[in-house]
Amino acid sequence: MSQDTDVRAADPVLGRLAEAILIPPFPGTAAPGWVLDALGRGLAGVTLYGQNIAAPGQVSALTAALREATAGDGPVIAIDEEGGDVTRVAFAEGSPYPGNAALGMVDDTALTRAVHQAIGADLAALGINFDMAPCADVLGAADSPAIGTRSFGADTGLVSRHTAAAVAGLQDAGVAACTKHFPGHGRTDTDTHEAIATIEGGLADLRLVDLPPFEAAIRAGTLAIMPSHLRVPELTGDLPATVSGAALTGLLRGERGFTGVIVSDALEMRATRDLFGIPRAAVLAVAAGTDLLCLGRDGSEDDYLAVREALVAAVRDGALDGERLEEAADRVARLRGGLARAWSAAPAAAGTGAAGTGAAGPGAAGTGAAGPGAAGTGAAGTGAGATRWSSRSSRGRTSPPGGSAGGSARGCRPAACTGSALRAGRRTAPGPTSARSWPPRPGARWWQWSATPTGTSRPGRW
């Protein structure tokens, strides 16, 4: 028998519980048979990366196939889509949306919300329902090599209000926000892809500087939070927060009152892989309070099977409390149920936006909330029948030609952006950054427009 069959035959209940908290990756632009089979058994979902993206129609067909294969509520279909330097959907040419550094410099929370609502509307149109964003990290003197322009800035208050706006924008579009990197990756001088990172200062500094943006995200209703492989000696000892019960169960849930889904950062990252190995890191993360396990871009079917087997064995051996695994699976099931309801409600929703009136894509929010409308960024829209929701990898980033801090050639450079100009539907900077109006014309998606040196618009490469 295969390893897959061995685990399921030995303890089918534990095997299903283990699968119910995993979102593995896979190579290629079509889902392999093992992923479809696992979804049919109750696999929580998948994580998409640039390797899975070729064109909008292909992505839509892929997500439809994933949904069709899934037993019960639809799957979690997760992606890293932050805008600016970190994009998966537009990895080949760079995101058309300004990144957090640019948004923080402009300091217009209405703009931040609109940008993230537009990102969410694009994802929802492709069938993606879970965004591992926004970054809530406050930059410090160390100028974290893993974060940089992914942060809204170095001021805690500014980062807090823009984090809340980004969460609201994504979830207005019917896409779950996963705020990261708890308890704060901005004041580190180490990239957790390479080694465990230690946050500068002590616990008092953490509470004063790093935690308020996460508290703001919780108040804004973020459905998920992602801890990272970060060490706070006074809190976690020698362990990263990913596997620290003091950080997750004690600080995040107990002290900060978060009741949503805790999602691990990629377990293939060296900060955890070198210390524990991926399967043991998965067990320790769940024991500490993690609900949903992200394996990372390069995880294989064998990695997925090894993690599932390790979770089953840990419960059998007493290393992992079975009730903790059940609790994690229940939280993920509730998340999936909510996402499925939002998805099923979306096609019937009508949206009215500032840029015009049209049929809203997934995520037109309840009456009075911002609805994407036809433009994906309409203000004060109405969504009839819709449901309101109350990257980490440098290898996946793209810095397009002509891009700058937090932006891209088709994004918004800090010096070129003002809230009034953007709300008026234009940018005033010369050259490529002024080539495309903001927001896009009604009905447009990011792949339908690209910049030209002459300042004219033309259909994008897709």
pLDDT tens-digit profile of 116-151? 999 999 999 999 999 999 999 999 865 667 788 889
Mean of pLDDT values over 156-177: 97
Helix H, strand E, coil C: the string for the chain is CCHHHHHHHHCHHHHHHHHCCEECCCCCCCCCHHHHHHHHHCCCEEECCHHHCCCHHHHHHHHHHHHHHCCCCCCEEEECCCECCECCCCCCCCCCCCCHHHHHHHCCHHHHHHHHHHHHHHHHHCCCCEECCCECCECCCCCCCCCHHHCCECCHHHHHHHHHHHHHHHHHCCCEEEEEEECCCCCCCCCCCCCCEECCCCHHHHHHHHHHHHHHHHHHCCCEEEECCEECHHHHCCCCHHHCHHHHHHHHHHHCCCCCEEECCCCCCHHHHHHHCHHHHHHHHHHHCCCEEECCCCCCHHHHHHHHHHHHHHHHHCCCCHHHHHHHHHHHHHHHHHHHHHHHHHHHCEEEECCEEEECCCCCCCCCCCCCCCCCCCCCCCCCCCCCCCCCCHHHECCCCCCCCCCCCCCCCHHHCCHHHHHCCCCCCCHHHHCCCCCCCCCCCHHHCEECCCCCEECCCC
* pLDDT(252) > 60: yes
**pLDDT for the residue 135:** 94
Lowest mean pLDDT among 261-265, 331-335, 454-458: 454-458
Percent of the chain at pLDDT > 70 equals 69
Choose between 220 and 460: higher pLDDT: 220
The more confident residue out of 141 and 365 is: 141
pLDDT of residue 364: 32
The band of 236, judged by pLDDT with boundaries at 50, 70 and 90, is confident
pLDDT of residue 149: 87
Mean pLDDT over residues 40-69, rounded? 95
pLDDT value for 2: 52
The rounded mean pLDDT for the chain is 75
Q: What is the pLDDT of residue 207?
A: 94
pLDDT at 195 over 50: yes
Q: What's the pLDDT tens digit per position in 399-454?
A: 322 222 333 323 332 222 322 222 223 222 222 222 233 233 333 332 222 222 22
Q: Establish whether 193 is a catalytic residue.
A: yes
Q: Does the annotation count 265 as an active-site position?
A: yes
pLDDT of residue 65: 97
Residues 6+ apart with CB under 8 A from 442: 353, 355, 356, 358, 373, 374, 375
pLDDT at 271: 61
- Choice among 73, 80, 122, 265 that is catalytic: 265
Of 162, 181, 185, 193, the active-site residue reads: 193
- Domain 3-29+98-337, what fold? TIM Barrel (3.20.20)
Q: What is the pLDDT, as a whole number, of residue 144?
A: 64
> Which of 320, 313, 242, 232 has its CA nearest to residue 275?
242
Kind of pairing between the strands at 224-227 and 176-182: parallel
Name the pLDDT band for 198 (thresholds 50, 70, 90). confident
Span 302-356, pLDDT tens digits: 999 999 999 999 999 999 999 999 999 999 999 999 999 988 876 544 333 333 3
> Bigger pLDDT: 217 or 12?
217
